[in-house]
Amino acid sequence: MTNPLLSDWTTPFQLPPFDAISDDDFAPALEEALDRGRAAIRAIAESSEPPSFANTIEALERADEMLNRVAGVFYNLAGSTSNPAREALQRDFAPKLSAYSSEIVSNAALWSRIESVWEARDSLGLSDEQMRLLTLTRRNFVRSGAALDEAGKARLAEVKSRLAVLGTQFTQNLLADERDWSMELTEDDLTGLPDFVVDAARSAGAEKGASGPVVTLSRSLIVPFLQFSPRRDLRETAWRAWTSRGEMGGATDNRAIAAEILALREERAKLLGYDSFAAYKLEPEMAGTPAAVRDLLMQVWTPARAQAEADAQVLTDMMRADGINGPLEPWDWRYYSEKRRLAEHDLDEAELKPFFQLDAMIEAAFDCANRLFGLEFSPLDVPLYHPDARAWEVTREGQHVAVFIGDYFNRGSKRSGAWCSAFRQQQKLAGDIRPVVVNVCNFAKGDPCLLSYDDARTLFHEFGHALHQMLSDVTYESLSGTSVARDFVELPSQLYEHWLEVPEVLEKHALHAKTGAPMPVELRDRLLAARDFDMGFHTVEYVASALVDLDFHDGPAPADPMAAQAETLKRIGMPEAIVMRHATPHFAHVFAGDGYSSGYYSYMWSEVMDADAFEAFEEAGGAFDPETAEKLERHILSAGGSAEADELYTAFRGRMPGVEALLKGRGLDKVA
């Protein structure tokens, strides 16, 4: 029988034939894809033709076509619909893919050909995009050890293989803790909870086969439980479980894994000639150096901490009024902050939620993309990988642009968080290849599904990433879409969040789930007036995580990461009633892979730009100014990684921004 992963896909838009793929297909498909990749690399390296851009650099772009296809399907499914078979395959694939990557960068003949093209680059008549691809290809080889001696290459390959295994194990341990823990609630335990929290708890209980409602470690359920449950004992139990993911002891404990990862990263950096892993990792980013990152974070930390300490005193006074003595605890913060928001802004999550239906917010994201970029979205009736997923064809002026898949509901088989990925990326080298993009979220199911305002922001955020993928217009896949500096990649996503705050968008799409009435103007105004409410808390929990990440990698690797984490938090004066957004044992951004290691700061680096970029629209006359939207698409969304990030941003805005717009946007510009 033909393996559907290896055959031509005759499905609409050449989507993966999800209904024909079984887990048994992945291992043989991966082996075949690796064999094809090795043959392609061998043909390039052993070619008798003189090295050229076409037969070396472009040929490398084509070498992994089948591997990208197979891995694109597998890893998207493993993240969103995991099962024991897929988890076993992940453990098996990690060292194989790492070994394959090491084989390529260790190929001396291939490296020689790349160097020959590099040395002749000024005489080859290359376009700007071709020169960019050549530069990044060579840089990637150098940073992957191609210039090391044989002993160095061999050790680096061992280090990278072990890191791949550990990252997979970290992720699976975290998923297991999130999947396995739940807290059953009695009917009395539901007292004081809004209907949407009760409904979510009942739905979670039904999914787990429990006899009644439960609280799980899904953010979309546990956060509102912490906001609204008047039962301090239950809040503490839930909070402790949530913040203990990855450190519950036993087979899923991630603490030793984190320590080994940090030690291996330091060794990797030293092998390549860098003082620290942070110095290695940040070299190609916009920030460039650990010092630049630390400077930004501390500029924000100081006013954020001051605001959080002032807020903590207000919440403590509220707790005292309830007759509770002792310190304000982390499981108290969200509960009293929600009560404070109701008192100061007359905002109640239960009142707001009916105006943020999932389907209406999807339509709002689509409508903004239509007004800004002329995109149209038509539902597709095609087989997908899970009943919760749905798809749309994206067109512009009748021309196909992309397929967009949305997978919005939480389930036990899906890793936590929200992300944007692609089953296929845009490129032109092999024809006009249009992308297949997926947004994955973890919203609690409901009928209808109601989102918090933060949930709606998450939806817009991930759709901003999707636009970066869908509007990509480059020749080479290595440069397409989100293939940009890590501290630039969050610009399109965080910028898109701003359109959720545009009054006319809320007026059109924030319609009551039962009555269909638009959100009252006075409620909308109160919502927008409170947009920076509790920003001290949110900024502190984020910046603390970013500083811990930076400290982990900017110097010798700590033998005990938990002690090092505590040391950093003590040094910066972490408020006692706030914890890091992501403690080390569940800090998947940093330990599930190298993506955000030494790079968790990048959300804030990008926020400096997104605050400034939205001001460009406001200065031009409004959120939907067509000329500004065209410049945004031309210089950023369609450009991918075809130029350095600062060049792209300057082309759009005319200059680089300062931190002032960020502090203003977070309401921290006037904090003493």
CB-based burial label for 517 (10 Å; 0-12, 13-18, 19+): exposed
Answer whether residue 240 is part of any domain: yes
Residue at a domain's end among 120, 144, 168: 144
Answer whether residue 226 is part of any domain: yes
Query: Which CATH number belongs to the domain containing residue 312 in this structure?
Result: 1.10.1370.10
Q: What is the pLDDT of residues 543-574, one digit of tens each?
A: 999 999 999 999 999 999 999 999 999 999 99
Query: Which CATH number belongs to the domain containing residue 83 in this structure?
Result: 1.20.1050.40
Answer whether residue 80 is part of any domain: yes
User: With b meaning 16 or more CB within 10 Å and e meaning fewer, what string describes 526-548?
Assistant: bbeebeebbbbbbbbbbbbbbbb
Please state the domain count of the chain. 3
CA distances from 521 to 350, 508, 527, 529, 533 (A): 17, 12, 10, 12, 19
Answer whether residue 518 is part of any domain: no
Q: What is the pLDDT of residues 282-315, one digit of tens each?
A: 999 999 999 999 999 999 999 999 999 999 999 9
Answer whether residue 120 is part of any domain: yes
Q: Which of the residues 462, 497, 607, 633 is marked catalytic?
A: 462
For residues 127 and 19, membership in a common domain is answered with yes
For residues 92 and 187, membership in a common domain is answered with no
The whole-number average pLDDT for the span 604-621 is: 94
List, as one string, the DSSP characters of 610-663. HHHHHHHHHHHTSTT-HHHHHHHIIIIITTTTSS-HHHHHHHHHSS---THHHH
Q: Quick one: pLDDT at residue 531?
A: 87
Paired strand residues for 291: none
For residues 82 and 111, membership in a common domain is answered with yes
The dihedral built from the CA positions of residue 640, 644, 645 and 649, taken in this order, carries a sign that is negative
For residues 135 and 24, membership in a common domain is answered with yes
Answer whether residue 609 is part of any domain: no
Q: Give CA–CA dist 25/33, Å, rounded.
A: 12
For residues 16 and 90, membership in a common domain is answered with yes
Q: And the tokens for 532?
A: 């920076």
In this predicted structure, the answer to whether residue 357 has a pLDDT above a threshold of 90 is yes
The three-state secondary structure class of 428 is coil
Matching residue, tokens 């902050």 = 337
Residue at a domain's end among 192, 222, 245: 245
Q: And the tokens for 389?
A: 């997923």
Answer whether residue 530 is part of any domain: no
Q: Describe the chain by its helix, strand, coil percentages, rounded to 5.
A: 60, 5, 30
Residue at a domain's end among 144, 161, 195: 144
The three-state secondary structure class of 520 is coil
In this predicted structure, the answer to whether residue 142 has a pLDDT above a threshold of 70 is yes
In this predicted structure, the answer to whether residue 331 has a pLDDT above a threshold of 60 is yes
The whole-number average pLDDT for the span 63-84 is: 96
Q: What is the pLDDT of residues 261-289, one digit of tens each?
A: 999 999 999 999 999 999 999 999 999 99
Is residue 462 flagged as an active site residue?
A: yes
**Residue 213 is which amino acid?**
P
Q: Give CA–CA dist 239/200, Å, rounded.
A: 17
For residues 258 and 338, membership in a common domain is answered with yes
For residues 238 and 259, membership in a common domain is answered with no
In this predicted structure, the answer to whether residue 89 has a pLDDT above a threshold of 70 is yes
For residues 191 and 269, membership in a common domain is answered with no
Q: Quick one: pLDDT at residue 623?
A: 97
Range of the domain at 326: 252-347+535-600
For residues 57 and 100, membership in a common domain is answered with yes
- pTM of the entire predicted model: 0.92
In this predicted structure, the answer to whether residue 159 has a pLDDT above a threshold of 60 is yes
For residues 120 and 52, membership in a common domain is answered with yes
Q: What is the pLDDT of residues 437-472, one digit of tens each?
A: 999 999 988 888 999 999 999 999 999 999 999 999
CB 405 within 8 A of CB 384: yes
Answer whether residue 220 is part of any domain: yes
Q: Quick one: pLDDT at residue 672?
A: 56
In this predicted structure, the answer to whether residue 1 has a pLDDT above a threshold of 80 is no
For residues 231 and 258, membership in a common domain is answered with no
pLDDT band at residue 422 using 50, 70 and 90 as cut-offs: very high
For residues 237 and 261, membership in a common domain is answered with no
- Mean pLDDT computed over every residue of the chain: 96
Length of the chain: 672
Q: Give CA–CA dist 218/131, Å, rounded.
A: 45
Query: In sequence order, what are the residues at sequence separation of 6 or more whose Cβ sits closer than 8 angstroms to the Cβ of residue 31?
Result: none
- Percent of the chain whose pLDDT exceeds 90: 93
pLDDT band at residue 671 using 50, 70 and 90 as cut-offs: confident
